[in-house]
Amino acid sequence: MDARTGSLGLSAQQKRSMDIALWLALLVPAGLLAGALASQVFGGLHPCEMCYWQRYGHFAGLTFATLALLIVPARRPLLLLAALGIAVSGAIAVYHAGVEAQLWEGFTECTATGARSLQDILRTPIVRCDQVQWRFLGLSMAAWNAIFSLTSAGAIAWLTLKRR
């Protein structure tokens, strides 16, 4: 620890950049996961298989960001891992948006999740990965996830690696 800057030898500007990266790494995946869950619970939008895949990257990013908050000496590598998790979610979202736009064929089968009995199977909607359930400004949720995830992952990595 550097007593002068209160951090691991970072200048005040570098510390500020790392703090911004940390908040982005915490808030972006948390916000996107909350939005996905809210659209599912309150909006009645059922996720397809690739929608779930996108969430896994955000869970990983949020986990690494939380560890970065708690383990200050390892903050830089943990923030880079958080950025990577968020970027993976964004990459899956690009693929998913392409499937939705019929730019390429998806490789998943339609699945129904959460079924425990025959009645559950009959009540659970089958959601196809190639059909858009909701759009905003002409873009699907997958496309918006791609935009937010890849942009924020790039910003987190840049802020974390920024020198002066």
Q: Around 67, how many Cα atoms within 13 Å sit in the side-chain half-sphere?
A: 15
C-beta separation of 91 from 61 below 8 A: no
Q: How far is it, in rounded angstroms, from Cα 61 to Cα 101?
A: 27
**37 has pLDDT over 80:** yes
CB 86 within 8 A of CB 57: yes
| 34-48: average pLDDT | 79
Provide the mean pLDDT of the chain.
Answer: 78
17: pLDDT strictly greater than 70: yes
Name the pLDDT band for 72 (thresholds 50, 70, 90).
confident
Residues 98 and 104 sit within 8 Å (Cβ to Cβ)? yes
Is 25 buried (19+), middle (13-18) or exposed (0-12) by CB count in 10 A?
buried
List, for residues 104-137, the tens digit of each pLDDT value: 676 655 544 455 666 665 666 566 556 667 655 7
CA distance 120 to 43: 20
Mean of pLDDT values over 70-93: 91
Whether 86 contacts 58, CB under 8 Å: yes
What does the radius of gyration of the chain's CA atoms come to, in whole angstroms? 19
pTM: 0.74
Lowest mean pLDDT among 26-40, 55-69, 126-140: 126-140
Task: Give the C-alpha separation, 85 to 95, whole Å.
Answer: 16
Domain ranges of the chain: 12-105+115-161
Write down the pLDDT at residue 156.
Answer: 92
- Quote the CA–CA distance of 15 and 5 in Å, as a whole number: 8
When mean pLDDT is compared over 6-15, 32-41, 69-78, the highest value belongs to 69-78
